[in-house]
Amino acid sequence: MDNLRMEGKVVLVTGVANQRSIAWAIAQALHAAGATPVFTYQSERLQKGVEELAGSIGSDHVMPCDVTNEEEVAAVARSIEERHGRLHGLVHSIAFANREDLAGEYLDTSPEGYRTAQDVSAYSLVTLCRYAAPLLAAEGGSVVALTYLGSVRVVPHYNVMGIAKASLEASIRYLAYDLGPKKIRVNGVSAGPIKTLSSRVIAGFNDMLEHIEARAPLRRNVETSEVASATAFLLSDLASGITGEILYVDAGYHVMGM
Ligand code: NAD
C-alpha cells in the first residue's frame, strides 16, 4: 500500500459486521495507506464488535446507520461534517435479501422480498450518495460499491440479489454522471466469492468456490485483501481518471465462456 498516499483522507466505510467482512479488510487497507476510516454499523447487535475493530486501528468514530432509515443516514453526514468538515471517500459494502429468496427459483420471489433486496442493496447507494455528496464535493471524492457477477450472468441461487446488483451497477453509472461535475467519482468492485456472514446464506456457496478454483484463469479464489486493495486504489488519486466503472477482482473468472 506504500504507493497509495491517502494521508489526511477521510473515508466512510459502511458494512462492517465482523472481522470477515469485506468492509473490514477495506478499512484496514485504507488505514495502511494513511487514510482515516470512519465506520457505521447496521444495528445495536453489531455496535460493540465494530467499535472494537475500529479501535484496533485507532478510530473512535463509529455511528449507527441502518441504510433504510434516512434519518440515520442524515445523522451520519452531520457527524462527519462536525468532526472532519469534509469527506474524501465512501465505501458501500451492504447487501441483504431474505434467506428464502437465495435458494430455489428466482421465479418464486415475493414482492416484499424483491423490494427488500432492492431497498437495502441498491437504493441505499443513492441515499448515501445524496447525503455524502456535499461533503465529498468539498475537495473531490470517490465512492466505491461492492458488487458481484450475478448482476450480469445467471448464478444459480443468487436470484433476487443478482437483480439488486444489476440495479446497483446501473446506479453506479447514473450517479457517476450526476456527481462527475462535482469532482466525485463513482465505481464498483465486483468481487469473486468470499466466505463471509452474508455469503454463507447463499445456497450452494461452497460449490461455487470449488467451481471457480477449477475454472478461473488464476485457478484459485480471491483473498479479501485483494478486493480491499483494489477498492483502496479506486478511492485513491491513482484512479483519478476512472468513474462509472465496474472493476472485477475475481481471479479472472468473469472472462470465461464455460
Ligand atoms: P458481510 O455480512 O460482512 O457484510 C454485509 C453488511 O451489510 C453487514 O455489515 C450488514 O450489517 C450490512 N447491512 C445489511 N443490511 C443493512 C442495512 N439495512 N443497513 C446497514 N447495513 C446493512 O458480508 P460481505 O460479504 O462482506 O458483503 C459486503 C458486500 O460485498 C455486499 O454488498 C456483498 O454483496 C458484496 N459482495 C460479497 C461477496 C462475497 O462472496 N462475500 C462477493 C461479491 C460482492
So what's the pLDDT on residue 203?
85
In angstroms, rounded to a whole number, what is the distance separating the alpha carbons of residues 234 and 35?
13
CA of 99 relative to ligand 1 center, distance in Å: 14
- Please indicate whether residue 158 is annotated as part of the active site: yes
So what's the pLDDT on residue 48?
98
Q: Which ligand 1 atom lies nearest to the CA of residue 149?
A: 43
Percent of the chain with pLDDT over 90: 96
Cβ proximity of 186 and 226 under 8 Å: no
Assigned C-alpha cell, 117: 433486496
* Domain extents in the chain: 10-251
CA of 93 relative to ligand 1 center, distance in Å: 5
Q: Which ligand 1 atom lies nearest to the CA of residue 16?
A: 9
- When pLDDT is averaged across residues 146-161 and rounded to a whole number, the result is 97
Stretch among 37-46, 51-60, 194-203, 235-244 having the lowest mean pLDDT: 194-203
- Please indicate whether residue 253 is annotated as part of the active site: no
pLDDT digit string, tens, across residues 30-48? 999 999 999 999 999 999 9
- When pLDDT is averaged across residues 223-228 and rounded to a whole number, the result is 98
Neighbours of 90 (CB within 10 A): 26
Class (C level, CATH) for 10-251: alpha beta
CA of 140 relative to ligand 1 center, distance in Å: 26
Residue 174 has pLDDT above 50, yes or no: yes
Cβ proximity of 150 and 254 under 8 Å: no
Q: Which helix (H) or strand (E) holds 228?
A: helix 224-235
Mean pLDDT estimate for the chain? 96
So what's the pLDDT on residue 3?
55
Residue 201 has pLDDT above 90, yes or no: no
Cβ proximity of 77 and 90 under 8 Å: no
So what's the pLDDT on residue 52?
98
Residue among 36, 24, 38, 29 at smallest CA distance from 2: 29
Query: Integer distance in angstroms from the first to the last C-alpha of the chain?
Result: 35
In angstroms, rounded to a whole number, what is the distance separating the alpha carbons of residues 235 and 30?
9
| Cα-only R_g, the chain | 17
Is 116 near ligand 1, meaning CB less than 6 Å away?
no
